[in-house]
Amino acid sequence: MMKNKNNLAIFASGRGSNFEALVQEIKKGKINVAKCVLFTDKKDSLVRQRAKKYGVKDIFIDPVRFKDKKEFDQEVIDTLDKEKIKVIALAGYMRILSPFFVKYFENKILNIHPSLLPSFAGNNAIEDAFNYGAKVTGVTIHFVSEEVDQGPIIAQRPVGIKDKMSLEDLRKKIHETEHKLYPQILKLFLENKIKLEGRHVKIT
């Protein structure tokens, strides 16, 4: 039996396919989680339907209610504290976290990005790599830092871009890779097998 289980919040703003990939492994008992909640900033996001499907608590806070990012993030922190959340996995969460928020959960926030960082950072990474004519792109899982898409890299998985591949083919391949890699890395992190030394990450 696994000990020292963590309380996890998965942050998502859209369809929630990575959310579902993580939750499926949690429900199977393969990821060391005592409690899992969804947090979203989008009232009509499809991920909320996925949360309902899996019986995961759905927390929605509307950012338009707040005067600035810090006030919103403080409300999110207060809500997560009530849930005793210790670890956060970003899974298609489209709001940039404030330095204040990142500092509060320092080295406890993971993010997945659909490119081999530092190449093709930003919101359109798959399309940017495809349009650039890159032959290889991929998936990166990293710690979240105050600078967007610049946190220490935990793991990367390459995805080749073949000559006859369409943009939708590439998207599908990237998502398939994400859904395999993210649960593996989250599992290791929650088992304290990932160690951060400066910008270098070691998996034991």
142-153 mean pLDDT:
94
pLDDT at res. 148? 87
pLDDT in tens, 167-195: 999 999 999 999 999 999 999 999 999 99
pLDDT in tens, 98-118: 999 999 999 999 999 999 999
**Domain edge (last residue) among 106, 124, 142:** 106
Nearest Cα residue to 137 out of 184, 164, 177: 177
pLDDT band, residue 4 (cuts 50/70/90):
low
Task: Please give the Cα distance from 204 to 140 (Å, whole number).
Answer: 19
Range of the domain at 145: 111-204
Mark whether 168 and 102 lie in a shared domain: no
| Residue 2 pLDDT > 80 | no
Mark whether 127 and 81 lie in a shared domain: no
| Helical H segments across 34-193, by residue range | 47-54, 69-82, 99-104, 125-132, 167-190
Mark whether 100 and 157 lie in a shared domain: no
Mark whether 21 and 37 lie in a shared domain: yes
Q: Which residues, listed in sequence order, are joined to residue 31 by a DSSP beta bridge?
A: none
Return all residues near 102 (Cβ < 8 A) that are at least 6 apart. Answer: 109, 144, 145, 146
Mark whether 3 and 96 lie in a shared domain: yes
Mark whether 1 and 100 lie in a shared domain: yes
| Residue 1 pLDDT > 50 | no
Mark whether 128 and 115 lie in a shared domain: yes
* Sign of the CA dihedral with 172 first, then 176, 59, and 98 last: negative
Number of domains in the chain: 2
Mark whether 128 and 198 lie in a shared domain: yes
pLDDT in tens, 47-94: 999 999 999 999 999 999 999 988 999 999 999 999 999 999 999 999
* Catalytic position from the list 113, 175, 179, 200: 113
The DSSP element (H or E) to which 34 belongs, if any, is strand 33-40
Mark whether 92 and 123 lie in a shared domain: no
Residue 200 a catalytic site member: no
Supply the CATH number for residue 197's domain. 3.40.50.170
In terms of Cβ atoms closer than 10 Å to its own Cβ (0-12, 13-18, 19+), residue 162 is: exposed
Mark whether 136 and 154 lie in a shared domain: yes
